[in-house]
A = this chain, B = another copy of it.
Amino acid sequence: MSDLLERLRGRGWRMTAQRRVVAEVLDGDHVHLTADEVHARAADKLPEISRATVYNTLGELVSLGEILEVSTDHRAKRYDPNAHRPHHHLVCARCGAIRDVHPTGNPLTSLPDSERFGFTVEGVEVTYRGVCPSCAAA
């Protein structure tokens, strides 16, 4: 985490209390919070932080490649601090729970040239859908 703050400082980021608490909230693995969830948690530490600042900071962190935007349900976007190890997502269709997963192989290789229509293909997102154990039990 302080690694992150160091990297950001090295990139010329002005270090403010707001940016620090947003970065702190986004620490840890398997965290996939919405902007408003980030805002709520940041406001626990810094009550007057505004929603606009949270959105601005999240957008900057995405541009810098420090976090990822994840859209699994067409509701609020989620922000994923696990940006340095490529992964995909497994989503519960009932409760929305999200797990990071690491499929075998490279999904890019499964798209033949004849299916690329002249595009330069740069990336791929895979979203597995299913039912989590606790929803299946209930």
List residues of chain A with CB under 8 Å of any chain B CB.
Answer: 69, 71, 74, 77, 90, 92-93, 99, 101-105, 107-108, 110-112, 115-133, 136
- Kindly report how many copies of this chain are found in the complex they form together: 2
Contacts of A124 in B (CB 8 A): 126-129
| Pairs A–B under 8 Å by Cβ, sample size 16 | A69-B74, A71-B71, A71-B74, A74-B74, A90-B116, A90-B117, A90-B121, A93-B122, A103-B107, A103-B115, A104-B112, A105-B110, A107-B110, A118-B136, A121-B128, A125-B127
Cα-based distance from A123 to B126 in the complex (angstroms)? 10
Q: Tell me which of A115, A122, A125 has the highest count of chain B C-beta atoms within 10 A of its own C-beta.
A: A115
